[in-house]
Amino acid sequence: MKELEEKILKEGEILSSDVLKVGKFLNQQIDTDFMFKMGEEVKRLFDGVKIDRILTIEASGIAFAMAVAYYIKAPVVFVKKSASANMSGNVYTSEIKSFTHNKVFRATVSCEYIKEGENVLICDDFLAEGNAAEGLIDIVRQAKANVAGLAIAVEKGFQGGGDRLREKGFRVESLAVIDEMEKGNIVFRKA
């Protein structure tokens, strides 16, 4: 998505060789008009695909997932990074290594929010090594539901997670794929 690439170049900040900060429009501060534009683009990419539910992970995946859900007209479920007191009954869990915090957390979601046989679209703001995506796929499988695909705002292609998922047969649609991010220079993958 050309507009996302332009926004990354204009408002993004390279924090290190593998961390991009997009706090001005995607994380921390949210450009809602732009978020909905991204949601509409995901709807276009997955047009004709049956999607019953959208699954993401707290916290920064929620806004993007909600914008996608607005156009796809499916409920959003977000996986929590730790079990909380307001979760009751059976839960699905998956251990995920956090890229940004460099620790392992137990992603948890109540079983009641993903039903057997449903087609689930996994959404997230970033795809790097693919650990968050793999954890969400694991949870969909535990629910005996199907992964309809993965919709990602920013994929850092040089970290390999997206291509590994594609090799496994998953449909991964990323609105921007960064293939190089060095010395203040960002190179996007050509469509």
Beta-carbon contacts of 61 under 8 Å, excluding residues fewer than 6 positions away, are 78, 123, 124, 125, 132
Stretch that binds ligand 5GP, among 54-62, 84-92, 163-171, 183-191 (CB under 6 A): 54-62
**Contacts with ligand 5GP in 107-126 (CB under 6 A)?**
124-126
| Residue 77 · residue 113 · CB < 8 Å | yes
Instruction: Sort strands 119-127 and 53-57 into parallel, antiparallel or unpaired.
Output: parallel
Distance of closest approach, residue 122 Cβ to ligand 5GP, in angstroms:
11
Distance of closest approach, residue 22 Cβ to ligand 5GP, in angstroms:
6
Task: Please state, in angstroms and rounded to a whole number, the distance separating the CA atoms of residues 119 and 45.
Answer: 16
E strand spans, 33-171: 53-57, 76-79, 91-97, 104-110, 119-127, 146-156
* Given 109, 132, 137, 172, the residue binding ligand 5GP (CB under 6 A): 132
Distance of closest approach, residue 163 Cβ to ligand 5GP, in angstroms:
12
Task: Please state, in angstroms and rounded to a whole number, the distance separating the CA atoms of residues 191 and 188.
Answer: 9
* Closest CB to ligand 5GP among residues 6, 112: 6
* Closest CB to ligand 5GP among residues 145, 176: 176
Residues in contact with ligand 5GP, shown as a per-residue x/- string from 86 to 105 under the rule CB under 6 A:
-------------xx-----
Confirm or reject binding of residue 29 to ligand 5GP (CB under 6 A).
no
**Contacts with ligand 5GP in 66-85 (CB under 6 A)?**
none
The H or E element containing residue 70 is helix 61-72
Instruction: Sort strands 13-16 and 19-21 into parallel, antiparallel or unpaired.
Output: antiparallel
Residues contributing to the site for ligand 5GP (CB under 6 A): 19-20, 27, 57, 60-61, 99-100, 124-133, 161
